[in-house]
Amino acid sequence: MIKLVLSDIDGTITDSRRVLSSSASEQIRKAQDAGVIVSLVSGNVIPVMYTFRTYLGMKAPLFAENGGAMIDDNITQFFSMDRPRAFFRDLEKSRLAKGIMTNQWRLCSMGFEPVGPVEQEILQLTARYNVEITNSGFSWHILNVGQNKGFALHYLMERYDLRPDEVLVIGDNFNDIPMFIEGVRKAVPANAEEELKKRADYIARSGYGDGSAEILSSLESF
């Protein structure tokens, strides 16, 4: 029986333009009302997760910055800003990337947009700084090593004392792969990257939020 759902936001409970899906948010509410713990994990920032928690009426802790920070009644920061900031400054100085609006609210990661087709060049630089780069499909993030959605998943499994087969993860893009771990149930909306479809137990018929609504409305089948 699924006791915990951990879902991505962008492209998973939104549409392709990032607008929140009414059907997915309705199904999140229903799952919560049925006693399932529903949490979200995103590359976005703590005050955005604060907004989701408040205005979707969510009770579980939610995770920002790909798992690097958590909000419940308080804010918890699990990683440091030192390495992501140093790497970002180098990228900026080398004119390889520019920052994004949400950086002012970040605690332990930096978001960026590559300036031109320089992704390989950026990736090669990561080793020197001991950081990792990830892409949500909506923006690029600089993270500490070990700061990923798998970290958030392990935190929740320990906090609620859950076995892997009591957990369902939902995601669509590369930065969701770290939570697609051995033993947990894995579902993806139809728009998911091929890499995620290969790992999924279930691929929804619909894409985006409607696909995740479909998954959330049949939790008993996982």
Radius of gyration of the chain (CA): 17
Strand 37-40 and strand 4-7: pairing?
A: parallel
User: Distances in Å between the alpha carbon of 124 and those of 79, 208, 210?
Assistant: 23, 32, 37
| Shortest Cβ 29–a second copy spacing (Å) | 8
* Residue 221 binds to a second copy (criterion: CB under 8 A): no
Q: Candidates 55-63, 91-99, 110-118, 177-185 — which segment interacts with a second copy by CB under 8 A?
A: 55-63
- CB closer to a second copy out of 27 and 150: 27
* Residue 50 binds to a second copy (criterion: CB under 8 A): yes
Q: Which of 36, 38, 39, 52 binds a second copy (CB under 8 A)?
A: 52
38 backbone dihedrals φ, ψ, rounded to 5°: -115, 125
Within 89-128, which residues bind a second copy (CB under 8 A)?
A: 101-102, 105
* Residue 63 binds to a second copy (criterion: CB under 8 A): no
User: Distances in Å between the alpha carbon of 205 and those of 23, 186, 196, 213?
Assistant: 14, 15, 15, 11
With H, G, I as helix, E, B as strand and everything else as coil, classify residue 151: helix
Q: 62-80 as b/e, with b when 16 or more CB fall inside 10 Å? A: bbbbbbbbbbeeeeeebbe
- 201 classed as catalytic: no
Within 8-47, which residues bind a second copy (CB under 8 A)?
A: 14, 17-20, 22, 25-26, 29, 45, 47
- Binding stretches for a second copy (CB under 8 A): 14, 17-20, 22, 25-26, 29, 45, 47-48, 50-52, 54-57, 75, 101-102, 105
